């Protein structure tokens, strides 16, 4: 398990601010994020399906690009790795 990050005054563990802004991954913050995402998916099923559809479309496009234009794919992929 990850240790809690030292948060500034006013920020608490188990909140959106701690998980997203301060990148805390302690058990309390992870549980908050897991429960928040589960509730969001339950209340917004179309948004989850749309996101999944977009990810799958991107994968298919990258596969086609790799097959049809390997040089361009390599160039694009190297740029993506440098950005991360």
18-76 tens-digit pLDDT = 999 989 999 999 999 999 999 988 898 888 788 888 889 989 998 998 899 988 888 87
pLDDT band of residue 4 (cuts 50, 70, 90) is: confident
For tokens 């809690």, what's the residue?
Answer: 4
84 pLDDT above the threshold of 70: no
CA–CA separation, 20 and 24 (whole Å): 8
Higher pLDDT, 39 or 79: 39
Please name which of 38, 7, 36 lies closest in space to residue 23, comparing C-alpha atoms: 7
CA–CA separation, 80 and 57 (whole Å): 17
Helix residue ranges, H only, 1-84: 16, 27-43, 45-68, 70-83
Task: Determine contact, residues 14/28, Cβ cutoff 8 Å.
Answer: yes
């Amino acid at each position: 398990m990850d240790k809690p990050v030292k948060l500034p005054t006013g920020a608490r563990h188990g909140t959106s601010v701690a998980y997203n802004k301060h990148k805390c991954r302690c058990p309390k913050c992870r549980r908050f994020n897991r429960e928040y995402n589960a509730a969001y998916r339950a209340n917004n099923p179309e948004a989850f399906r749309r996101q999944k559809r977009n990810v799958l479309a991107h994968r298919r496009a990258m596969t086609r690009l790799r097959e049809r234009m390997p040089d361009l794919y390599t160039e694009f992929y190297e740029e993506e790795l440098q950005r991360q």
